[in-house]
Amino acid sequence: MDRIVALGYPDVADMSASAFRALAVPLIQSLENVDLGPNILLVPTRELVSPESLISRTSINRMAGFTTMPPRDIVSFLPQDDFEPPEGPFYLVVDPHTGTAYVNREPDVARKLIDSDERLPLTLEEGLAIATQHPDWLMEKNGFNLLGSRSADGRVPSVWMSQNAPRLGAVWPNSRHTWLGNAYCGGRRGVSLFQ
């Protein structure tokens, strides 16, 4: 929370930092009664912050993230069936991973493998949360496809390093890239799922 507030997420949401933080209080309080392990990711939903405004909030070594896609393209990447985020302005992703086990796989092939391994593919918003909260993963591990989201024309969003900065792009479902994993997680938890 401290990191995304420092990066200006409240401005994107058009509210004060204190009001922005207050929206996460119920979720944070619910964590007091459960142990999800050390590897969790805080994700704001697109109703709170629009995904097209977030890539520029990421940075690595002071190089701001970027995209060459127009905002209408980014907005078109919607969560697929069964991967809709939990209700609420914030939710948690448990055990997120950049998908090193699925590097150099076509998205459609990787999706079947992720399903068979009983994992969940990450969405666009979750991938941007990784790039924001763990930018080092892009440098130390790999770029990644976000198979939990897809546009109407079939493309899936991707995040990778380009020009020494995080870049948001997209790939076709039958394309293969040696530097792209296919990101996944172990689960998603919102306030309603703790009750």
Q: How confident is the model at residue 192, as a pLDDT? A: 64
Q: What is the pLDDT along the chain (195 residues), one digit of tens a residue?
A: 999 999 999 999 999 999 999 999 999 888 888 888 888 999 999 889 988 888 988 888 889 999 999 999 999 999 987 777 888 899 999 999 999 999 999 999 999 999 999 999 999 999 999 999 998 898 888 899 999 999 999 999 999 999 999 999 999 999 989 989 999 999 999 886 444
Domain span including residue 128: 2-194
**At which residue do the structure tokens 């995040």 appear?**
159
Relative to beta strand 59-60, strand 78-79 is unpaired
User: Can you list the pairs that 35-38 forms with residues at least 24 positions away whose Cβ atoms lie under 8 Å?
Assistant: 36/92, 36/94, 36/189, 37/94, 37/95
Q: How confident is the model at residue 53, as a pLDDT? A: 87
Count: domains in the chain: 1
Q: How confident is the model at residue 37, as a pLDDT? A: 82
CA–CA gap between residue 15 and residue 143 (Å, rounded): 32
This prediction has a pTM of 0.92
> Closest by alpha carbon to 117, among 181, 44, 185?
185
> Closest by alpha carbon to 191, among 82, 32, 46?
32
CA–CA gap between residue 24 and residue 16 (Å, rounded): 13
